[in-house]
Amino acid sequence: MNLKHFSFLLIFSLSCITQVFSSDLDVFITINRFYQIETKESYVEISYLVPFNAVQYAEVENNLLQAKLKSSFEISNKNEIVNAKKYILQTPKYSSVNNINENLTDLIRIKVNENDTLKLEIFIQDITDSSYFSQTVDLYSPSFEEASLSDIMLISSNEKAIEESVFSKNGMTIIPKFMNYYPTEISEIKFYTEFYKHNKSGNYVASYLLTDEEGLYIDGYAAHKKIVNKNYEAIIGGFDISKLPSGNYYLFMELKDAENKILQRKRTFFQRSNRNKFTVENVNNQRNELEVITNNFAKKYDLKNIDHHLQALSPIATNFEKATIESFDKSEDLTQMQNYFFSFWKQRNAKDPEAAWKAYAVKLQFVEKEYTSMNQRGYETSRGRLYLRHGEPFRMQFYRRKSMGEFWIWNYELLDGQSNVNFVFLNSSNITDDFVLVHTNLRNAVYDKEWAEYLKNEF
């Protein structure tokens, strides 16, 4: 296994997401746990992608354009900092905005002790405009037994490595799939995993298959790989999913010994959206032995309600999630919409997704009552979106001035790491009572110099 980069860039990792704070910087992350059989060391591999159009480009020497990210990673064990690293990730230098087409990507491998519970704090910031992504992760480093599998890493591609890079493994360039979403245009799901054993004796079989979210095997999606007298094996596999219907799925792996005894199971979640008319519905009713989630609370909502609930997620959704939600516009695929709604909240609260939705629904009912106008639902208005995204402000004050008209000023004592943040909502029409956001001193948001001067002089 090629780990040339390993000893120099040992610093970050990720596993189960517990908290995510984002201020308009889209970052897509994958986290997987592996083992180095030669050195008998566990490590976590984290790779991330920031879209090229999500960052701001500043002018550098010779009138060229470049974007830079300040990345900070800190790993702690209880109250002790175990590892920490800060560095700058930058794009190539471009002569014109029309030439910018390369995403920012990186991969880091971090050594960890086996049977250890860690906490990882990530902070990635665009140096030019200060937008950022922040995430706190509880990470468990397992013990790799006598015969074990690594995590399952979904991948976009694997090719023979022409030159060494951070994505090199076993002479291959393996690019992770940064989103576990498979639209119609993607016809194949591929994965990478590793087998480990402390000696080379014994025969094993690594089986992999697809199930739906209720644990039913999907017909035609099963394969296996034999492992004979090896202490290490890189496994790359996958399935043609061009006929796989839309829905939520799991890719399962099972490791069995020569007596067909199951030694280990692994799984990873993915979502399929398939507009292809020639999909094949599953008729298998055999359930996977592994316990799976069956309490999809969204099943109780009919098409009208689920459509409303999905659209109401827009204020707190990422850009990618917004695009997915928009794709459901005028859709009549109730099951797919219910599944996505459940998945949305499960990502935010894996233990109790319905509780997370109910907490949001309380806020939603409030903004529907207080901020709905003649033209917009409450969650579509400027004030409604802000309330749903950031909660109740510290202070809300209404003003009427001849020179400026009617307006509200909302104040947050602390927001996105910035203190004393104000938002100004101006009544755009006396008829519709629409108060539109016209100014804020929050970084990277709507800023109006005239309003800034007015507030400075008047208040």
Q: 134-143 burial string, b = 16+ CB within 10 Å, else e?
A: bbebebebbe
**Which one-letter amino acid corresponds to residue 397?**
Q
Angle of the 319-327 helix axis to the 334-348 helix axis, nearest 10:
160
CB 403 within 8 A of CB 455: no
375 phi, psi to nearest 5 deg: -105, -15
Report the C-alpha gap between 85 and 73 in whole angstroms.
Answer: 5
Maximum pairwise Cα distance, the chain: 86
Report the C-alpha gap between 187 and 191 in whole angstroms.
Answer: 14
**Which one-letter amino acid corresponds to residue 177?**
K
Report the C-alpha gap between 459 and 446 in whole angstroms.
Answer: 19
Residue in 456, 421, 247, 246 with CA at minimum distance from that of residue 342: 247
Q: pTM of the entire structure?
A: 0.60
CB 14 within 8 A of CB 31: yes
Radius of gyration over alpha carbons of the chain, in Å? 25
Tokens 């002479």 -> residue: 171
Q: What is the pLDDT of residue 346?
A: 83
Q: Provide CB contacts within 8 A for 349, sequence distance 6+.
A: 355, 356
- Residues facing residue 306 across a β-bridge: none
Tell me how far the alpha carbon of residue 367 is from its chain's centroid.
Answer: 27
Task: Show pLDDT as tens, one digit a residue, over the chain (459 residues).
Answer: 333 222 222 222 333 333 344 457 888 888 899 999 888 888 989 899 998 888 999 999 999 999 999 998 888 887 688 787 889 999 999 998 888 888 899 998 888 888 888 888 889 999 998 889 888 888 888 887 679 999 999 999 999 988 889 999 988 999 999 988 898 888 999 999 999 998 888 899 999 999 987 778 888 899 999 999 999 999 999 999 999 998 889 999 999 998 888 888 888 999 998 887 666 655 544 433 233 334 688 888 898 999 999 999 999 988 767 877 887 777 787 877 888 888 889 888 878 889 999 999 999 999 999 998 877 889 999 999 999 999 999 999 998 887 778 899 999 988 888 888 999 999 866 666 778 898 998 887 777 888 888 888 776
Q: What is the pLDDT of residue 60?
A: 92
Q: What is the pLDDT of residue 8?
A: 25
Start-to-end C-alpha separation, the chain: 64
Report the C-alpha gap between 32 and 16 in whole angstroms.
Answer: 10
Residue in 107, 243, 234 with CA at minimum distance from that of residue 178: 107
Report the C-alpha gap between 321 and 325 in whole angstroms.
Answer: 6
Residue 30 in tokens: 């994958």
Residue 259 in tokens: 């007596």
Residue in 321, 313, 314 with CA at minimum distance from that of residue 26: 321
Give me the domains of the chain, ranges plus CATH numbers: 1-143 (2.60.40.2550), 145-293 (2.60.40.2550), 297-382 (no CATH), 393-458 (no CATH)
Tokens 């579509």 -> residue: 380
Residue 446 has what DSSP assignment?
Answer: -
Task: Count how many Cα atoms sit within 13 Å of the Cα of residue 95 in the half-sphere of its side chain.
Answer: 0
Sheet arrangement for strand 104-112: 28-36, 41-50, 104-112
**Three-state DSSP class for residue 117:** strand
CB 65 within 8 A of CB 97: yes
How many of the other CB atoms lie within 10 Å of CB of 68? 19
Q: What is the pLDDT of residue 1?
A: 35
CB 296 within 8 A of CB 353: no
In 162-261, beta strands by DSSP E: 168-169, 172-176, 181-182, 188-197, 203-212, 217-228, 232-240, 247-256
Q: What is the pLDDT of residue 444?
A: 74
Q: What is the pLDDT of residue 130?
A: 85
* DSSP letter for each residue of 170-191: TTEEEEE-S--EE-TT--EEEE
Report the C-alpha gap between 220 and 211 in whole angstroms.
Answer: 11
